[in-house]
Amino acid sequence: MTQIEPTRDAALARLAAFTPEMGARYAKRRNTDYGPGRHGAVSRLSPHIRRRLVSEDEVIAAALAAHGPEGAEKFIQEVVWRSYFKGWLEQRPTTWNSYRDGLQRDLALVAEDRKLRAQVQAATEGRTGLDYFDAWAQELTETGYLHNHARMWFASIWIFTFGLPWRLGADFFLRHLLDGDPASNTLGWRWVAGLHTRGKTYAAQAWNIAKFTDGRFSPREADLAPDAPALEHEEPDGLPPRLGLRTPSSPDMARPTALLLTEEDCTLAVPEGLNIVASATLEASHLRSLGPVSDVVADFERAALQDSASRLAPDATALRAGVPGDLAKWAAKAGAEQIVTGFVPRGPLRDWLDSASPAMAAQGVTLTEVQRDWDRLVCPHATAGFFKVKQKIPQILQCAGLL
């Protein structure tokens, strides 16, 4: 597969190259996994959108200009899915806490259970004997990418055919996916397992894999689980409660400010007039898991942050999310009374920043966030299934000035 470059220029070039494909050809071919090096039917912009080297509204604007709202409908819906998942998790933050805490229990179980450990290793190393599953595992670890349909098949086989804990599979994805996003990844696995849309699971089927891999594989139905019962026993009381959206603190234009760039927003719109006394990039991809995060992911994040700094803060200090209190010390030493960063949604970095709050309070430093209009338009609608957001897409595009 052609290497995905972690820069805004590369994102814009890829956007321009794929724009002609965003209409009928995308709608027809998007579900087919043609294999490594042949993913031209999909945009492969997700690693860039994940870090907002290019934004959702920029991508949608290109699709609308080339194909109109009807011609680009399927492509636009796929872009909105990511925002929907982000909004859904923001409104149900205990879902992330449950995943994080459950993963720790699963990892402890793997450490104690030799048989389970061997099964997980075989699956993640591509040694299960199912050629299609093993090919996907190897493609993911080698390239940091996997077609969305392959992700669904992989998760279904992991959960229902192999009977492995779903959080361990989600963790495997998050450690290796260049576009790994806490919301999309966690909720995508929950959807396959029947926890997101209660009782509705995704069952990998031999004919479906054969058809949508363009005949690359010929699975036997006997090798796959005959049924896919939902894991509803994990949440017998139903979905976690919806607590609403968090309102971030806005920057105070009068206070000396430390600018913090993270992979959550590499094209951050820095408010004009801020008194910026220091700036830094913050590497945090290692926070994705207690296990080793892929070098491919870490290198991509580091380069994306360098690209962001070259445009927004050329003299930025390179920081790494380690001891949470160090962030407050850095800001205070620079004479800053507030830190300004892009909105940080629910996930590992949000957890780390929350743990840094006491130290920041002790130093008299306030954490403020700049949230994009796009998120404010989409996330409030993510209260239930995607259908509710889908119905609002014309209104969202109108309010965003895209129609």
| β-strands 366-370, 275-283 pairing | unpaired
Q: Are residues 273 and 173 in the same domain?
A: no
- The pLDDT of residue 125 is 98
Encoding tokens for residue 232? 């509803």
Question: Cα–Cα distance between 296 and 318 in angstroms, integer?
Answer: 19
- The pLDDT of residue 3 is 76
Q: Are residues 49 and 81 in the same domain?
A: yes
Q: Are residues 123 and 213 in the same domain?
A: yes
- Residue 89 pLDDT grade (very low, low, confident, very high; cuts 50, 70, 90): very high
Question: Cα–Cα distance between 262 and 268 in angstroms, integer?
Answer: 9
Element (H, E) at 236: none
Burial of 105 (0-12, 13-18, 19+ CB in 10 A): exposed
| Mean pLDDT of the chain, nearest integer | 97
Backbone angles phi, psi at 229, to 5 degrees: -70, 135
- The pLDDT of residue 402 is 97
* Residue from 63, 62, 59, 56 nearest 83 by CA: 56
Residue 251: strand, helix, or coil: coil
- The pLDDT of residue 367 is 98
- The pLDDT of residue 17 is 97
pLDDT at 51 > cutoff 80: yes
pLDDT at 1 > cutoff 50: no
Contacts (Cβ under 8 Å, ≥6 apart) of 384: none
Q: Residue 169's CB: how many other CB atoms inside 10 A? A: 26
* Residue from 329, 319, 320 nearest 359 by CA: 329
**CATH number of the CATH domain containing 189:** 1.10.579.10
Domains: count for the chain: 3
Average confidence (pLDDT) over 198-225 = 97
* Domain range enclosing 38: 8-90+377-399
- The pLDDT of residue 224 is 98
* Cβ contacts of 35-38, under 8 Å, gap ≥ 24: 35/135, 35/139, 35/213, 35/214, 35/216, 36/1, 36/139, 36/143, 37/1, 37/2
- The pLDDT of residue 347 is 98
How do residues 215-263 score in pLDDT, each as one tens digit? 999 999 999 999 999 999 999 999 999 999 999 999 999 999 999 999 9
Q: Are residues 229 and 109 in the same domain?
A: yes
Answer yes or no: is 251 within a domain: no
Q: Contact 139/153 with Cβ under 8 angstroms?
A: no
- Residue 4 pLDDT grade (very low, low, confident, very high; cuts 50, 70, 90): confident
Cα 213–chain centre separation:
24
Backbone angles phi, psi at 275, to 5 degrees: -90, 85
* Residue from 59, 1, 67, 5 nearest 33 by CA: 1
* Residue from 204, 208, 231 nearest 218 by CA: 208
Q: Are residues 67 and 168 in the same domain?
A: no
**CATH number of the CATH domain containing 283:** 3.40.50.620
| Radius of gyration in angstroms for the set of CA atoms belonging to the chain, rounded to a whole number | 21
Average confidence (pLDDT) over 379-399 = 97
Q: Can you name the residues that pair with 341 across neighbouring β-strands?
A: 260, 369
Q: Are residues 228 and 305 in the same domain?
A: no
Q: Are residues 185 and 293 in the same domain?
A: no
- The pLDDT of residue 49 is 98
How do residues 328-363 score in pLDDT, each as one tens digit? 999 999 999 999 999 999 999 999 999 999 999 999
